Each structure stands twice: as C-alpha cells, then as structure tokens.
Amino acid sequence: MPRRSVLVGSIAAVVVVVAAVGAFFLLAPQGPREVKLEMWEFGFNGPSGGPEIRARVGETVRFVLTNRGGTDHEFMIVKDLDGFREALRKTVNELREKGLDQEAIMESEEVEMLHHKYSAIELMVDGKMEHELELEPGESVTVTVTFDRPGTYYYVCAELTLTFPESHLDREMFGKIIVEG
Ligand SMILES: [Cu+2]
C-alpha cells in the first residue's frame, strides 16, 4: 500500500473513533448530577456553612451525604430559613420552661412538627419520601431531590446535640440552593 493511502486510512480510522466516542457521550443517558456533602461540626464540607448549589427547574440532584463528624447531623431542605431557626429557638425555650430535658425536647412532637412544617422539598431515599434525615457518625445516605419550582432554598442541619439549647443551624450549618427557571 502506498504511504499516502496508509496515512489517509489512519486519519479516517481516527475520525471514526472520535465520532463514535462523541456519539457515545451525547447519546448515553445522563444520570442525575451528584453533589457530595460531608457533615462536620458544624458545617457541610467544612467547619461552617456549606457550598452553594445551583439547579434548574425540573432537575434532579443526587446528594451523597456522609456524616464525618462525631455527633448526629440532619439534612432537610427549607425555604424560610430564618422562620425555621426562630421557630425552633422559640419551641425549644418553651419546652425548657415547661421542665423538659434535652432528650425529651429532641424527641418531642413539637420539634418534629416544626421539621414537617418548614420542610419545603421532599427527599427521596430508597424509594421513600422523607421530610428530613438524621445520620449517625460514620453513616452515609444517598438522597434524590427534584427541584420543581424556582427560588432560593437552604439545606440545613437543625440537630440539637452538642449545641443544646441552640441548634446546629444556630452555628451556621446550612448552605444555599438556587433553583433557576
Ligand atoms: Cu448538624
């Protein structure tokens, strides 16, 4: 075979391979975007706060949560961050005034109800819808969240362990989620 034909043949082969790889990535089903969040005292991926997450309306994001800290941490998504924080403070104080101890307050119906009231987006875990999740130290959970409406949301931890009567939210354990239409 003349040298030129070999060269043309090689180029053609490279073009075919590049086109095939390109088509594979274009046509392969794109899974939900994955966001890894490590929980620490008292932040996500660090000692305070958490990374800002941007999503599009209709997008599904898979959160891989791992509790790397030494105490329990929570995960839920709220819209009214200040309202939730204030309501939690008020409820905890009212229950303390009634004489309830930390354990009783953490397991109280009142605190549970607040989580339900302020949860803005449901979390899908193993095929089940949840308002909030609680992870023990070392635990890891994958959560799927679909953002149906535009707006600003916050993923938060409102645990009371170690910080009682304050919550982890009072130590800035939250991050912003911006959902664009
Ligand atoms: Cu926490």
What ranges in 28-156 are assigned the alpha helix state H? 81-97, 102-106, 109-118
Taking the centre of ligand 1 as the mean of its atom positions, its distance from the CA of residue 6, in whole angstroms, is 64
Taking the centre of ligand 1 as the mean of its atom positions, its distance from the CA of residue 141, in whole angstroms, is 15
pTM: 0.83
Distance CA 55, CA 178 (A): 6
How many other CB atoms are there within 10 angstroms of residue 111's CB atom?
Answer: 19
How many other CB atoms are there within 10 angstroms of residue 161's CB atom?
Answer: 16
Taking the centre of ligand 1 as the mean of its atom positions, its distance from the CA of residue 99, in whole angstroms, is 24
Taking the centre of ligand 1 as the mean of its atom positions, its distance from the CA of residue 74, in whole angstroms, is 6
- Per-residue pLDDT of 42-76, as tens digits, reads 999 999 999 999 999 999 999 999 999 999 999 99
Taking the centre of ligand 1 as the mean of its atom positions, its distance from the CA of residue 160, in whole angstroms, is 8
Check pLDDT > 90 for residue 8: no
Distance CA 29, CA 27 (A): 6
CA distances for 34 relative to 30, 53, 59, 63, 64, angstroms: 11, 11, 11, 6, 7
Taking the centre of ligand 1 as the mean of its atom positions, its distance from the CA of residue 73, in whole angstroms, is 4
Taking the centre of ligand 1 as the mean of its atom positions, its distance from the CA of residue 32, in whole angstroms, is 25
Taking the centre of ligand 1 as the mean of its atom positions, its distance from the CA of residue 81, in whole angstroms, is 15
Check pLDDT > 70 for residue 19: no
